[in-house]
Amino acid sequence: MPPNNTKRRRSKAKGVGFTIMVVGASGTGRTTFVNTLCESEVLPHKDCDNPENAGLEASISIKPVNVDIEEDGMRINLTIVDTPGFGDNVNNDLAFQEIVNYLERQYDDILAEQSRIKRNPRFRDNRVHCLLYFIPPTGHYLREIDVSLMQKLSHRVNVIPVIGRSDSLTSSELKAFKKRIMEDIVQFDIPVYNFPYDVEEDDEDTVEENQELRSLLPFAVMGSEEEINIDGEYVRARVYPWGVAIVDDPEHSDFSRLRGAILGTHLQDLKSLTEDVLYETYRTEKLSRNAGPYLETRESTMLPAEDLANQSVRLKEEQLRKEEEKLREIELRVQREIHEKRQQLLAKEESLRNLESRLAAQGSDSIIGSPTTF
Ligand SMILES: Nc1nc2c(ncn2[C@@H]2O[C@H](COP(=O)(O)OP(=O)(O)OP(=O)(O)O)[C@@H](O)[C@H]2O)c(=O)[nH]1
Ligand SMILES: [Mg+2]
């Protein structure tokens, strides 16, 4: 076995794996955000100009994309999972189910891998560590669709709500919108990832950092695939007739703070929550759902425990019914025999009586007809 420090060096060189999923309504800026985060065109844009592609996206299965990035000297093997954008009026159930299925499939894969006797050295753990939920910049409230989807997803993945294309709102609109969204999240009890901390356990800096990040929820994010030169430095920004919105400027958006959190300070926390809490919960649910004496090995050929119990009760009932039938047959046969015997007895009694009366008649005849001799 290699000494520990060699192992650490190797894993540092190999990089740490991390998976982000982006979910949200169509046109909320998911693709642009991902390409901004990775500083390259990792995801293609939807080809809206080609009418042949209209309506195609909903049926396209979710495909993860891998990219290696470096954050604060740490190599990250980043996996990005883009999901089909959904609209307001169409039936989104299929798209929702596809997202949940994808998350659960990754858990199923690792569950199967962990129960294998011989591990597959090429197995890739694709569990999603963080889901960025894009809220459209309407400035109103959370829509019903956002509430229901975030609620569903939060049980399977760390959900971080973000406001997409946030530069579409003014500072005061953004502040009020964030407040309303957080009120909705509390009211509807949506368990989003809220940068947890423990005042007793954590040091002052950690508590402060988490408090600050929590106060930014939902993160106002923007993206740009364009770089402009500002004072000799190329930066990602959106240029408007009235000015420039710089992606990394904390005055303009929360992009850099979100990036620093998910790819830096909170990467490990998101990973351990996924592996130790969310996955473990799923695993327990799944195993108790399938619980039975032959679980895992003969799952498909065996009946579930409840069915087995029902079947044995049914067999016993059947046996009892057969025994009862047999007894009834014996009873009938015996009754019939008794009846026959009684009939025979009655017939014998009758013939005996006849014989007696004939004998009696013969006796009296012989007394009357005999001559008297003196
Ligand atoms: N103002 C503003 N516009 C943006 C921003 N990000 C993207 N856009 C624009 O919004 C439109 C949609 O952006 P996309 O990144 O394709 O959005 P998407 O969520 O991936 O959309 P679909 O994949 O079509 O569902 C494009 O015209 C982008 O240029 C942003 O931060 N601010
Ligand atoms: Mg897109």
Q: ∠31-236-170 over CA atoms, to 5°?
A: 80
> Would you say the CB of residue 252 lies under 6 angstroms from ligand 1?
no
Q: Are the beta carbons of 158 and 132 closer than 8 angstroms?
A: no
Residue pair 70/76 in contact by the 8 Å Cβ criterion: yes
Distance from residue 48's CA to the centre of ligand 2 (Å): 10
Supply the pLDDT for residue 50.
52
Residue 252 DSSP SS3: coil
C-alpha span between 317 and 320 (Å, rounded)? 5
pLDDT the model gives residue 24:
92
Q: What was the pLDDT predicted at 372?
A: 43
CA 186/CA 192 separation, integer angstroms: 10
Can you give the pLDDT at residue 90?
62
pLDDT of residue 344: 78
- Tell me which of 31, 168, 226 to substitute to probe ligand 1's pocket, judged by most ligand atoms within 8 Å of the beta carbon: 31
CB crowding 202-228: b at 16 or more within 10 Å, else e: eeeeeeebbeebeebbbbbbbbbeeee
Q: Are strands 233-240 and 243-246 parallel, antiparallel or unpaired?
A: antiparallel
pLDDT of residue 48: 55
- Pairing state between β 219-220 and 159-163: parallel
* pLDDT at residue number 296: 44
Number of H helices, E strands in the chain: 10, 9
- Low-confidence residues of the chain, pLDDT below 50? 1-11, 53-60, 293-303, 308, 369-374
| Cα(309)–Cα(292) distance, integer angstroms | 11
Q: Which one of 33, 165, 221, 255 would you pick to mutate in the ligand 1 pocket, going by the greatest count of ligand atoms within 8 A of its CB?
A: 165
**Beta strand pairing call for 130-135 and 74-82:** unpaired
